[in-house]
Amino acid sequence: MKPVASVSLDLDNLWAYLRTHGDPRWEGRPSFLPSAVPRLLDVFGEHGLTTTVFVVGADAERDDGAEAVARVVAAGHEVANHSFWHQPWLHRLTDEEVEKEVLRAEEAIMAAGAPKPVGFRGPGFSVTPRLLDVLGRRGYRYDASVLPTWIGPLARAYHNRSAGSTDGGEDLFGGFGRVKAPNTPFRWRGGGIVELPVTTMPLLRVPVHGAYLLQLHQISPKLARGYFRTALRLCRARNVSPSLLLHPTDVLSGAEAPGMEFFPGMAVPGREKVALLGWVLSLLRKDFEVVGTGGHVERVAAAGLRERDPVAWG
C-alpha cells in the first residue's frame, strides 16, 4: 500500500484577505467564490480526489458561500470549520470570543447543508490551549492549525510592508519559535484531539503549499517544480505523510482577485495556476494515497500517536 497523504482547501474569500491586509474595501464583502469553487472542484474531480474544505462561517451564511458548501458536499468532500470571521489573530481573543467563533461557524456550516464539522483550522495557523479546550468540548476530532516553519516573521514583514492599518499585524503568522513544532501528526495531551500539521519541507522547514509554489513559479516554473519534487522526496525519506494546503488564489488570476496584488503569485495567469495545481496533484498521487484531512487523521490515529502538551509555539 502507498503511504497516506492529504489535500485540504482553506476557502478564504476575497473580503477576508482584504480585511487582514487593512483594506477598507473588505466591508463591502467582495467574493471570488463563484469563480474559484467550480474551478477547484473540477480539478479535484479530474484527479479523483476526496479532500477537506475548511469553510469560513460568515461565507456559509451568504448565498454564494452556501452554494459553495452545497457543491462541496455533493462532490463528496469533507467540510470543516475555519472560524466565523477568519481573524488570523484568533490567539488574542477571549475564551468567550473563541467559543463564539467556533460555534457560529459550526452552525452556519450545518445550516448550509453540511454535517457537523469534526475538524478545525485556525486562520493564520493560530492555535492555543484555549482553542483546543473549546474544540474538545464541542466534540471535534482533529485540528490542523500548526504550520511548523521559521518563516512566519519574514512572511509578516512581506505582508505588512504594503498593508494598511490591521489589527494583530504585529504578530501575524507567529514567530521563529514555530519551527520547533512537529512536522508529523500527534495527539494533544488531555483533550485527545489529533493535530495534523500543514506539512513543511522536512529538514529545511520551509512551506510547500500553493502560495509559495506560485511565488517560485512566477520566478521560474522549473524552480517551482524542482522545489516541490524535493519536498516530496524528503517526505518519503523522512517518513512524513504530506498534508498539502490549497487556497482559492491557487487557481485565480490577479484580475479575478482585485486588491490582492500584494499576495504571492498573483501575477501568474489563472490557466497556468490550474496547470501547476494539476501537476502537483498528479505527482502527489504517484507515490501517496491521497485523502482529505479527516481520512488522514483516521489513518494515522489508528497507528498510534505521540502525545504533546497543549502549548502554543511562538
Helix 63-74 to helix 33-46 angle, to the nearest 10 degrees? 10
Task: Look up the CATH number of the domain holding residue 169.
Answer: 3.20.20.370
280 in a domain, yes or no? no
In sign, the C-alpha dihedral spanning 263, 267, 269, 275 is negative
Write down the pLDDT at residue 172: 84
Whole-number CA gyration radius for the chain: 18
Burial zone of 6 (CB within 10 Å; 0-12 exposed, 13-18 middle, 19+ buried): buried
65 in a domain, yes or no? yes
158 in a domain, yes or no? yes
153 in a domain, yes or no? yes
Write down the pLDDT at residue 166: 55
- Mean pLDDT (whole number) for 90-105: 94
Q: Quick count: other Cβ atoms within 10 Å of Cβ 236?
A: 14
Write down the pLDDT at residue 168: 60
Residue 260 has pLDDT above 60, yes or no: yes
Write down the pLDDT at residue 167: 60
Distance CA 55, CA 39 (A): 17
The structural domain count of the chain equals 1
Write down the pLDDT at residue 314: 63
| Largest interatomic CA distance in the chain | 51
> SS3 for 120-180, per residue?
ECCHHHCCCHHHHHHHHHCCCCEECCCCCCCCHHHHHHHHHCCCCCCCCHHHCCCCHHHHH
What is the per-residue pLDDT across 156-181, written as a single tens digit (0 to 9) for each?
Answer: 888 888 887 556 667 788 889 999 99
222 in a domain, yes or no? no
Report the mean per-residue pLDDT for the chain. Answer: 94
Residue 67 has pLDDT above 60, yes or no: yes
Residue 23 has pLDDT above 60, yes or no: yes
- Mean pLDDT (whole number) for 205-217: 95
- Mean pLDDT (whole number) for 188-215: 94
272 in a domain, yes or no? no
* DSSP sequence for 235-301: HHHTT---EEEE-GGGS--GGGSTT-TTSTTTTS-HHHHHHHHHHHHHHHHHHSEEE-HHHHHHHHH
34 in a domain, yes or no? yes
- Mean pLDDT (whole number) for 296-310: 91
Domain with 119 in it? 4-199+242-247+288-308
What is the per-residue pLDDT across 288-302, written as a single tens digit (0 to 9) for each?
Answer: 999 999 999 999 998
- Mean pLDDT (whole number) for 260-273: 95
- When mean pLDDT is compared over 108-117, 145-154, 166-175, the highest value belongs to 108-117
Better-predicted residue by pLDDT, 311 or 307: 307
301 in a domain, yes or no? yes
Write down the pLDDT at residue 312: 61
Residue 40 has pLDDT above 60, yes or no: yes
